[in-house]
């Protein structure tokens, strides 16, 4: 099956808002396989979480919390993907070390992060933002907090459950 080519990604100055259409993108996962958000949406809504860096304390806590609630997201009909600027190799080791059951995508040039308008903290550290995107590609929720990594999971799961009821 031929997949439509993703449109060029345009960086945004502001964070993508609820009600806006999420950008289409394809990135490599921790196994080097191309993952398209359009293909993920065919299976249900998608939780896309951007995080700063593999194997840092907050990012590890967040990933492990998504892991620990992964069955809840699946039961609610949601796909979960994490995105950072780390390499495929870094993601492979991170996912294996923490037994992550979901895909971690390598946005090494930061183009997808820019297209979603995810800001840097203090101009240096990649931001931590979670988006819930429905099957049609519309953003239904955003949560941005660099320090409250575990709250991203609670917020996303609450919204995902409302989308299926």
pLDDT tens for the chain, 165 residues: list them. Answer: 334 445 577 777 888 999 999 999 999 999 999 999 999 999 999 999 999 999 999 899 999 999 999 999 999 999 999 999 999 999 999 999 999 999 999 999 999 999 999 988 777 788 899 999 999 999 999 988 766 666 768 888 888 888 865
In a domain? residue 37: yes
Catalytic residue among 16, 27, 59, 133: 59
In a domain? residue 79: yes
Burial class (CB in 10 A: 0-12, 13-18, 19+), 94: buried
Distance of CA 36 to the CA centre of its chain: 12
121 beta partners: 125
64 annotated active-site: no
pLDDT at 32 (0 to 100): 96
Query: Number of structural domains, the chain?
Result: 1
In a domain? residue 9: no
pLDDT at 19 (0 to 100): 96
Burial class (CB in 10 A: 0-12, 13-18, 19+), 60: middle
In a domain? residue 19: no
In a domain? residue 134: yes
CATH of the domain at 99: 3.40.30.10
pLDDT at 147 (0 to 100): 67
In a domain? residue 7: no
Count of residues in the chain: 165
Nearest to 22 by CA among 153, 110, 145, 142: 142
In a domain? residue 17: no
In a domain? residue 140: yes
Domain range enclosing 126:
26-160
pLDDT at 157 (0 to 100): 86
């Amino acid at each position: 099956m031929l997949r439509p080519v993703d449109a060029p990604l345009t960086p945004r100055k502001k964070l993508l808002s609820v009600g806006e259409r999420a950008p289409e993108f394809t990135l490599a996962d921790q196994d080097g396989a191309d993952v398209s958000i359009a293909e993920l949406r065919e299976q249900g809504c998608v939780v896309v979480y951007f995080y700063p860096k593999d194997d840092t304390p907050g990012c590890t806590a967040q990933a492990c919390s998504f892991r620990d609630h992964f069955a809840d997201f699946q039961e609610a009909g949601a796909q979960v993907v994490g995105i950072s600027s780390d390499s495929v190799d870094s993601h492979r080791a991170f996912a294996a070390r923490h037994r992550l059951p979901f895909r971690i995508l390598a946005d090494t040039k930061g183009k997808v992060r820019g297209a979603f308008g995810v800001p840097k903290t203090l101009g240096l550290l990649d931001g931590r933002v979670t988006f819930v995107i429905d099957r049609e590609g519309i953003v239904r929720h955003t949560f941005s907090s660099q320090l409250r990594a575990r709250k991203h999971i609670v917020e996303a799961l609450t919204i995902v459950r409302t989308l299926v009821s």
